[in-house]
């Protein structure tokens, strides 16, 4: 049976851990608010751009220059680029583990094609560095990602695709659904598949629709990558807040159990001392 001092030390240790998890929960909650605002602001822009691309594709019609656009070229997938977005820090539940498992499953499903990894986030980088996989780029410190960062990465991906160094580009990230739920999202950004326009359009374009379409396709890749980064940032804060809230509750329960156990040990010790005193007094009579 542990001594009272050992139990008190353990209670103090758990209480200190509880203070840390509670503080981390509050920090994540504050960061989540800002990250959620960025997600909400980016979603309408992406939807409007997809709608505009659908209008332009319908207006261009059967123009041969549309099919000749290099960003729409479909080739046999021999070299596939996977952009994996993880976090730089842990303590976020299964946030990173689910992504890494999905990335490994993706590489297996696309064999015999070679899957090249573009790793965004320290957790994914540290994991795949120890594996024999081709890594084409690493980006850390993306918690405060700006649109310019996504533009620079998207331009490199577009350039590699145009040069036929890679045959397809896929995004793998956690999509923010709610504070309690994040979904592993998977999207193909290159080659692009133009959205279909259900209704016929009757627009007059000052610039030819084919030219506008060619200029907007790289922008679409940029906004999709930026959305993946901001969605992942919000999902990370939500996952960490949920995990730290559960850890704080578990710490409270552990403290209660240890306190109850400590009281029982102390009561047993007191009862034993009383018995010893009574027995000693009875023997002295």
Domain identity same for 168 and 257: no
Domain identity same for 15 and 55: no
Residue numbers of the domain that contains 222 = 29-241
C-alpha triplet 153, 48, 117: angle, nearest 5°: 25
* Element housing 193 (H / E): none
Segments in the chain forming alpha helices (H): 4-60, 64-67, 95-109, 122-129, 147-162, 209-284
CATH number of residue 10's parent domain: 1.10.287.80
Cα separation, 120 vs 115, whole angstroms: 16
What's the pLDDT score for residue 49?
82
C-alpha triplet 248, 249, 251: angle, nearest 5°: 65
CATH number of residue 183's parent domain: 3.40.1380.10
What's the pLDDT score for residue 149?
82
State the pTM of this model.
0.83
Beta bridge partners of 81: 116, 169
Domain identity same for 158 and 126: yes
What's the pLDDT score for residue 196?
67
* Element housing 130 (H / E): none
Cα separation, 131 vs 109, whole angstroms: 17
Residue 268 in domain: yes
What's the pLDDT score for residue 206?
73
Residue 285 in domain: no
What's the pLDDT score for residue 69?
77
Domain identity same for 204 and 118: yes
Cα separation, 69 vs 106, whole angstroms: 27
Cα separation, 94 vs 125, whole angstroms: 16
Number of domains comprising the chain: 2
Residue 256 in domain: yes
What's the pLDDT score for residue 199?
61
Q: Tell me the per-residue pLDDT of 201-253, one tens digit each, with 9 for 90 and over.
A: 666 777 777 788 888 888 888 888 998 999 898 899 999 999 999 999 999 99
Domain identity same for 16 and 79: no
- Encoding tokens for residue 142? 């993306």
Cα separation, 240 vs 231, whole angstroms: 14
Whether 187 and 206 have beta carbons less than 8 Å apart is answered as: no
Write out the chain's pLDDT in tens, 285 residues.
Answer: 677 888 888 899 999 999 999 999 999 888 888 888 888 888 888 888 887 777 777 776 666 676 677 788 888 889 999 999 999 888 888 899 999 999 999 999 988 888 999 999 899 999 998 888 899 988 887 666 778 888 888 999 999 998 889 999 999 999 888 888 888 988 888 888 776 665 656 667 777 777 888 888 888 888 889 989 998 988 999 999 999 999 999 999 999 998 998 888 888 877 877 877 777 767 776
The DSSP call for residue 115 is: E
Residue 284 in domain: no
Domain identity same for 185 and 247: no
Domain identity same for 10 and 91: no
């Amino acid at each position: 049976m542990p001594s009272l001092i050992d139990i008190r030390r353990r209670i103090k240790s758990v209480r200190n851990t509880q203070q840390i998890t509670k503080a981390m929960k509050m920090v994540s909650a504050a960061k989540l608010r800002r990250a959620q605002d960025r997600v909400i602001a980016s979603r309408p822009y992406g939807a409007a751009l997809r709608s505009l691309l659908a209008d332009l594709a319908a207006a261009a019609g059967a123009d041969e220059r549309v099919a000749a656009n290099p960003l729409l070229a479909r080739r046999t997938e021999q070299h596939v680029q996977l952009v994996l977005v993880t976090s730089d820090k842990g303590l976020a539940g299964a946030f990173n583990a689910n992504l890494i498992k999905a990335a490994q499953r993706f590489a297996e499903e696309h064999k015999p094609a070679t899957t090249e990894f573009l790793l965004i986030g320290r957790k994914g980088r540290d994991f795949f560095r120890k594996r024999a996989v081709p890594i084409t780029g690493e980006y850390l410190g993306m918690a405060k990602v700006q649109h310019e960062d996504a533009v620079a990465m998207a331009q490199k991906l577009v350039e590699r695709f145009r040069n036929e160094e890679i045959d397809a580009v896929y995004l793998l990230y956690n999509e923010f659904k709610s504070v309690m739920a994040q979904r592993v999202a998977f999207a193909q950004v290159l080659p692009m598949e133009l959205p279909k326009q259900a209704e016929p359009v009757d627009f007059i374009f000052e610039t030819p629709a084919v030219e506008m379409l060619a200029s907007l396709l790289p922008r679409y890749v940029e906004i999709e990558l930026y959305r993946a980064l901001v969605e992942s940032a919000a999902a990370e804060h939500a996952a960490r807040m949920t995990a730290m809230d559960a850890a704080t509750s578990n710490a409270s329960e552990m403290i209660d159990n240890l306190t109850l156990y400590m009281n029982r040990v102390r009561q047993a010790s007191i009862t034993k001392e009383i018995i010893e005193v009574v027995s000693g007094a009875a023997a002295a009579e």
